[in-house]
Amino acid sequence: MRLTSAVVAALLSVTAADAQVVSPAVDGGRIAGHVITLSADIVTDATVTLGRINDQGMTWQTVVTKTDASGAFGFEQLPEGRYRLWASKPGYTSRQFPDPNAASVRTFDPGPIVDLARDAQVQDVQVVLRRAASIAGRVIRPDGSAAPDVQVQIAFRSGSEREPLLETRTTSRRDGRYEINGLPPGEYLVGALNAPAAQAAETTWYPGVADPEPGSAVTVLEGVNAEGIDIWLTPSRRFSVSGQVSWPVGVTVERLTIDYGDPAGISSGVWYPDDPGGLFTLAGIAPGALTLLARGDSDQGPLLGIASTEVTGDSVDDVRIVVDRPAVIAGRVVYEGNVPASSQATSIVAVQKLLKLSVTSPVPESAVDANGTFEIRGAIGEYDFALDGLASGLRITSVIRNGRPLPMNRIAIAAGETIRGIEIVVGR
């Protein structure tokens, strides 16, 4: 059914902000109006939802009704407060493209807001339905194969920034296809995360550009699906890190190895420099923090050295790692309460926290004698501790030095350093 021109003009001139307020005929407030389309057609049998908005801007206490043969709806016996209305019908949406100048633009505007005074009646609220559209396509790896289980999300430009629309997330299927439905008309950016959430994910923007680049906007027309919006994932950025391992004058070093990785243990590896002068180049390094731990055998015993760097937008040169005598950590294990000898620790291990070491790297550890004393050799970096042989229910409760607990029960130590007087406190 199409409204008369006079009725259409009246409806389109009324918004939730200036809707007519009349004296109440019954106790309690009332909100009523019509659902129409952009082309001024009335919408029958549409689902209209009314929700209260709390002080934090969240919608709650929703109630639902249907429009009648004239597209009208009404909600009765309402307390005063702020309300939001939205409507739905298969093939339609009351979503509106966000206002880039709004304070919060991370979601669509679902419909009009009404401020209802006590026992007031707000009439002729207009809820506009638009024919919904979708964006669909495939996520494709750089080699042309389908990329399944990739998170895809829509955003839009707000000045020089991209604003993601939180309710548009989806995941590509086994064939790489994705589809995002229920979209109002607008200019959208479509992005795909090319790494699992647990890793340092980078967003590729349609049609296949890296995050620093603007990407191409997809124009969605009312009710017209945008198909074939294929996103070609960009290869993950990789760089090289090079430098030199050095050692004291007069010392002969052989069999150098370099363990490298990040504190979270997401990326790690081991490199075996073959240059007699200790020069090295690590290839294929992902952006982020990187710690390098060098180890070598010498005519004076094992040598250790450590360095860190930040890999950002380019390769890193001239990383220097100086190897020296390993550090020593000594102390004793003490127990809270009466713990029999059969339940006490038999050995202690220092667990490296700056990077994940390769399986070929020696683990700094020591036996724990009957008095609880230990001496760990071969350490460098930052460590916490693990005890072997403890009875069930016992654990390390604190690590103390000079009467003071160490933060996070960790200790940092440099090459050639000796730290004594550590107390590993065990309790329940």
Q: Are strands 133-140 and 231-232 parallel, antiparallel or unpaired?
A: parallel
Collapse the DSSP code of 230 into the 3-class scheme (helix H, G, I; strand E, B; otherwise coil) and give the result: coil
pLDDT value of residue 264: 74
Comparing CA positions, the residue from 257, 279, 253, 261 lying closest to residue 362 is 257
**pLDDT for the residue 143:** 79
Higher pLDDT, 332 or 19: 332
Give the Cβ contact number of residue 284 at 10 Å. Answer: 11
For residue range 214-249, list pLDDT tens digits in order: 888 999 999 999 999 999 988 767 789 999 999 988
Q: Which residues of 380-412 are buried (b: 16+ CB within 10 A; e: fewer)?
A: bbbbbbebeebeeebebeebbeeeeebeebebe
Kindly report which listed range (91-95, 98-102, 132-136, 248-252) carries the lowest average pLDDT score: 98-102
DSSP letter (8 states) at residue 361: S
Query: What structural domains and CATH numbers belong to the chain?
Result: 5-131 (2.60.40.10), 133-232 (2.60.40.10), 239-322 (2.60.40.1120), 327-427 (2.60.40.1120)
Task: Name 187's bridge partners.
Answer: 219
pLDDT tens by residue, 292-320: 999 999 988 999 999 999 887 788 999 99
pLDDT value for 27: 54
* Bridge-based pairing state of the strands 347-352 and 301-311: unpaired
pLDDT in tens, 180-208: 999 999 899 999 987 654 444 678 999 98
Whole-angstrom distance, CA of residue 198 vs CA of residue 3: 54
What does the pLDDT average to over 23-29? 58
The whole-number pLDDT of residue 107 equals 78
Cis preceding-peptide flag for 207 (omega within 30 of 0): yes
Confidence class for position 357, pLDDT limits 50, 70, 90: confident
pLDDT mean over 245-269: 86
Please indicate, yes or no, whether the overall pTM of this predicted structure exceeds 0.75: no
H or E segment to which residue 9 belongs: helix 5-12
> What does the alpha-carbon distance between residue 46 and residue 396 come to, in Å, rounded to a whole number?
63
Strand partners, 92: 89, 131
Mean pLDDT of 167-173: 91
Task: Identify the pLDDT of residue 285.
Answer: 84
Give the span between the Cα atoms of 143 and 139, in whole angstroms: 12
- Percent share of the chain, pLDDT over 70: 89
On average, the pLDDT of the chain sits at 86
